[in-house]
Amino acid sequence: MRKNNSILMILIIVIIASLIVWKVDTPNLISKNKEISTEKVSKKVKKESKKIKKKETSESKSSSSTETSSSVESESSSESSSESTSSVQPSVKYPALQNYAGKTYYAVDTDIGFPTTFTITSDTETLVFDGKHELIKSVVLGDSGFIALVGETGHSMGTTLSFEFRPLGSSDEVEVVNQGQYLTYSTTMPE
């Protein structure tokens, strides 16, 4: 019985000793684990921050190159648009008259009962016959390439302005129809 008591006593002492050792070392272990996990986390954070910085750097480089290329594209497109607008007249009311706008046409045959000159203003809103302005109300593209201009009532040529012309080869020479008569007008002044 004494042996059992001594074995039991030794077991109890070992258990108590191990509990004391465990109790004393546990805070040390916890702090060591915390230190180790903190180091691991800080290393991961450093690695991730390096990756993020690399990504940001590469993204900023690519975005700056994209911005540069887009600015180059916008500059080239603005140049091409300015080139195209230089040939196109601004604020044209009737696009069908655009090729004739701002030009003065002179009658090739001056012995006619019709105005000797006519001009379509650069904004294509007015037709000028021998210096008299007639407001254009509408433009109609007719048969055989004729362009018909209809104007306000009560103008100098009667109650309703009806004027038709078509190009003869180019916009510098046109054929005007006046009461069944075909008259040639040119941008070149006759001698």
- For residue 129, the Cα-to-chain-centroid distance in whole angstroms is 41
What mean pLDDT comes out for the span 15-35? 72
Strands 126-129, 117-120: pairing kind: antiparallel
Per-residue model confidence (pLDDT) at position 58? 65
Mean pLDDT of 147-174: 76
More confident residue, 73 or 129: 129
Higher pLDDT, 47 or 189: 189
Strand partners, 134: 127
Instruction: Give alpha helix (H) positions in the chain.
Output: 2-87
Per-residue model confidence as pLDDT tens digits over 41-59: 677 777 777 777 776 666 6
pTM: 0.49
Every domain of the chain and the residues it spans: 1-87, 95-186
Q: What is the pLDDT of residues 168-185, one digit of tens each?
A: 988 899 998 877 788 899
Instruction: Tell whether the model's pLDDT for residue 148 goes beyond 90.
Output: no
Highest mean pLDDT pick, 32-36, 125-129, 159-163: 125-129
What is the pLDDT at residue 83?
Answer: 45
Burial of 115 (0-12, 13-18, 19+ CB in 10 A): buried
Tell me the longest C-alpha to C-alpha distance in the chain. 156
Residue 112's φ and ψ, nearest 5 degrees, are: -130, 160
**Residue 109 confidence (pLDDT):** 82
DSSP state of 190: P
Greater confidence, 188 or 26? 188
Q: What single DSSP character describes residue 111?
A: -
Mean pLDDT of 147-153: 78
Give the position of tokens 């258990």: 15
Apex CA 124: angle with CA 123 and CA 128, to 5°? 110
Q: Which CATH architecture has domain 95-186?
A: Beta Barrel (2.40)
Residues 125, 135: contact at Cβ < 8 Å? yes
% of the chain beyond a pLDDT of 70: 65
